[in-house]
Amino acid sequence: MTKEKEKTVRQLFEAYRVKDRSMIEPLLADDFTFTSPYDDAIGKRAYFERCWPNSERIERHSLEEIVGSGDRVFVVYLCRTREGKEFRNVETFDFEGSRIRAINVYFGAAYTDGVFQPS
């Protein structure tokens, strides 16, 4: 993994922290896709319509681990919402040159005040 890819991933998470969509747009490739348990390879427009509004709920991401292999970067993070809910996820970022071509999200367990919250 290059330092540049790590920097790009950190910029994306920083955009969520400061609620600035314009910071993310230049990071994403034209053919960008986003996949999660709720989204099946949606494009950029759908990502911003469906996912970006969640930035308002996020208080912070604590990036716990960033590991790269070739054009893929793996990130483990703990997210805390404004409502006090915490959850740990893993995301993979696939790069095309210096831009993010795809993000895949894998959800972890959720907690409120340290108490497990079943889905």
Mean pLDDT of the chain: 94
Give me the pLDDT at residue 19, please.
94
Give me the pLDDT at residue 107, please.
93
User: What are the structural domain ranges in the chain?
Assistant: 3-112
Average pLDDT over residues 64-93: 95
Instruction: Please tell me which residue, 2 or 105, carries the higher pLDDT value.
Output: 105
Rounded to two decimals, what is the model's pTM? 0.91
Give me the pLDDT at residue 61, please.
95
- In CATH terms, the fold of domain 3-112 is Nuclear Transport Factor 2; Chain: A, (3.10.450)
Kindly give, in sequence order, each residue whose CB lies less than 8 Å from that of residue 100, ignoring residues fewer than 6 positions away.
8, 9, 12, 27, 28, 29, 32, 93, 94
Give me the pLDDT at residue 4, please.
94
Pairing of strands 28-36, 39-42: antiparallel
